[in-house]
Structure 1
Amino acid sequence: MKIKSIFLALTVLALFSCKSEAKKALDKKMPLAENVKEQTELEITPISHATAVLEFDETVIYLDPTGGAEAFASFEDPHYVLITDIHGDHMNLKTLNALALENTIIIAPEAVAKEISAVKAKEIVVINNGEEKSFSNFDIEAIPMYNLREEALKFHSKGRGNGYVLTIDEERIYFSGDTEDIPEMRNLENIDKAFVCMNLPYTMPVENAASGVLAFKPKQVYPYHYRGTGGLSDVSEFKELVNKENKEIEVVQLNWYPNRK
C-alpha cells in the first residue's frame, strides 16, 4: 500500500510539472497583446481622373494633385506629393502653387522636377525609371510608363514619366500612370492593389488593360484614368474580361468622375 501511495504521489507531481512546463512554453510563444503589430490601415480616396489621396499612419500623400486647393479642402496638408508625368492632368502647376507645400516632399521624375523647380516645397526628390527610394514609413519604386502602339508613341516616351509601386507595411500598391500594357507592367510581382489606366487615344484600350492585369495578377485592380477624347472607357467590359479569365482578381470600381452627370 505504501508503494502504491508513493507511486501515485510521483505521478501527480509529474503531471503538475508537465503542465507547468507546457504553460511556460506557451507563454514564450504567445507575445503580449501590446507587442503585437497592428496592420496599417490604408485609405485611398479618388479625387478625379488620376488624382487621389492616400492616408496611413498619420501620413498624407497626394497623387498627381489637380483641381485646385479646393479639391483637397477636406484633407490635411500632404507630407508627400507624387507626380507621374508632365501633362496637365498629372503635373498641375496652378494646383501645386495653391497648396500649402512648405513642409511637403515632392517625389517626381526628372522631367517633372525641371518644370516645378519654382514650387515652394520642403524638398523635391527626383526618382527615375527603375530606381527605388525609402522614406520614413514607406518605400517607392519608379516603374516605366510609355506607349507601344505606333499611333500613340507621341504621347508618352519611355523614360520620361513614372508609374509607382508603393510598399506600405508590406502591402504593395501600383499606380500605372499613363502607359500601355508594357513588359514592365506585365512582369510585376506580388501586387496587392493595382490602379490601371485605360483611355484612348492616350494610353490603352480596355482589352489591353485587361490583358496586362491578367499577366501580373494583382489581388485587386482599380480602373482609373479612364476618360479619353471619346468619353469614359467601358470599365464594366474591363471587369468582364478580367474575371472571365481569372475570378480571383477583385475588380474594384471607385468614383473617379464625381461631377459627371
Structure 2
Amino acid sequence: MKVLKITFIIALSITVLGCKNEKKETELAVDGTNEVFEESVKVIPITHGTLVLESKSEVIYVDPTGGSEAFKGQKSPTLVLITDIHGDHLSTSTLEALNLTDVTIIAPKAVTDKIPSTVSNNIITLNNNETTKHNAINIEAIPMYNLREEALKFHTKGRGNGYVLDINDERIYISGDTEDIPEMRNLKNIDKAFVCMNLPYTMTVESAASAVLDFKPKTVFPYHYRGTDGLSDVNLFKTIVNDSIKSINVELLKWYN
C-alpha cells in the first residue's frame, strides 16, 4: 500500500507541474517579433495601423489594408473595425478582396458612407461615445482628433473612432489617429493599448508617452508610427514611459519591414 501511495503522489505532482508549465507558456509575451500571445488575446501586427486581435472565439481585423495578401496565413475575421476614412485605415479594395459578406463591420458614419453595400451584409455605424455589442464583446467608440492648430485639418473631432473593447476580461484600447486628447488621458482600467505617434498627422513620442503615463495601461503597443520624416523613435517612447512607471509593459512589435 505504501508503494501505491507514493506512486500516486508522484503522478499527481507531475500532472500539476505540467499544468502550471502549460499555463505559463500561454502567458509569455514576445518582444520584437510579429505576435504576442497571452492567455486571452493574441496580438498580430500587420502593418502601420493594421492589426489582428485573436481570441478563442473571435478574430478581429482592425483597419485592414494591404489587400488579401497582407492577411495570408491569418484566420478569417469574425469582426472588422475601421477607425477613419484615410487610405491607411479604410481600404475598400482590401475589404472587397477579403470576402467579408457575412462578417460584421463596425465604423463611424464617415467610413460606413464610403463602404460599398456589396462588401458586407452587416455594416454597423457607430459614432463617438456610442456603444454596441458583438457576441460577447462590448465595443465603445472613443473620439480621436487633433489638438494642434496646424494639424486640425487632418482629423476633425467627431469624424473618426478610437475603440475600447471589453473582451475575455480584458479592456483593449485602439487609439486610431489622434493626439493626446482628454478622452485618452481619462481612460480607466486598460489592459492593452495601441497608441499612435507620427508627425505631422498625430502626435509626438513625448505627447504619446505623457498620455500613457496618465491612463496607465498594463501593456502599451506603439503603433502607427511612420510619419513624413520616417519612423518615430519608439525606443525613446519606451524609455520615457518606463523611467516614470516601470510597471507599464511597453511592447515593441514589428510593424514595418
TM-score computed with the length of structure 2 as normaliser: 0.84
Total equivalences in the alignment? 220
- Provide the C-alpha distance between the structure 2 equivalents of 1:198 and 1:146, rounded to a whole number of angstroms: 13
2:180, 2:118 → 1: CA distance?
33
- How far apart, CA to CA, are the structure 1 residues paired with 2:118 and 2:161? 20
Partner Cα distance (1:57, 1:45) in 2:
14
| 1:230 aligned residue | 229
Q: Is the CA contact 2:109–2:125 (under 8 Å) kept in the aligned structure 1?
A: yes
Partner of 2:80: 81
The answer for unaligned runs of 5 or more in structure 1 is 1-38
Contact 1:96 1:119 in 2 (8 A): no
Alpha-carbon deviations, 1:178-199, whole Å to 9, x = none? 0000000000000001100000
Counterpart residue identity of residue 142, structure 2: I
Task: Give the Cα–Cα distance (whole angstroms) in 1 for the partners of residues 78 and 121 of structure 2.
Answer: 9
The Cα offsets for residues 222-254 of structure 1, whole Å up to 9 and x where unpaired, read as 100000000000001001111111111111111
1:54-69 matches, cutoff 5 A: 54-69=53-68
Q: Secondary structure at the match of 1:115?
A: coil
| Matched position secondary structure for 2:113 | helix
Residue by residue over 1:118-142, the C-alpha shift from the partner in whole angstroms, topping out at 9 and shown as x without a partner, is 3421200111100111121211000
Match of 1:47 in 2: 46
Percent of aligned positions that are identical: 63
Asked if 2 retains the 8 angstrom alpha-carbon contact of 1:77 and 1:100, the reply is no
TM-score (normalizing by structure 1): 0.82
Task: Considering Cα pairs closer than 8 Å and 6+ residues apart, tell me whether 1 or 2 has the greater RCO.
Answer: 2
CA contact (8 A) 1:61 1:81 kept: yes
Find the counterpart in structure 2 of residue 241 from structure 1: 240
Partner of 1:106: 105
Q: CA deviation at 1:40?
A: 5.9
Displacement of 1:100: 1.1
Q: Greater Rg, structure 1 or structure 2?
A: 1
**Structure 1 counterpart of 2:201:** 202
Tell me what 1:125 maps to: 124
Distance 1:200 1:145 in 2: 15
Paired residue for 1:153? 152
**Secondary structure of the corresponding residue to residue 45 of structure 2:** strand
Aligned AA (1:91):
L
Q: What is the one-letter code of the residue matched to 1:134?
A: K
User: Any runs of at least 4 consecutive aligned residues in structure 1 with deviations exceeding 3 A, and if so which?
Assistant: none
Aligned to 2:142: 143
CA distance in structure 1 between the partners assigned to 2:43 and 2:108 by the alignment: 22
Residue 167 of structure 1 aligns with which residue? 166
Which residue matches 1:193? 192
Q: Structure 1 residues 149, 125: CA separation in 2 closer, same or farther (over 3 Å shift)? A: same
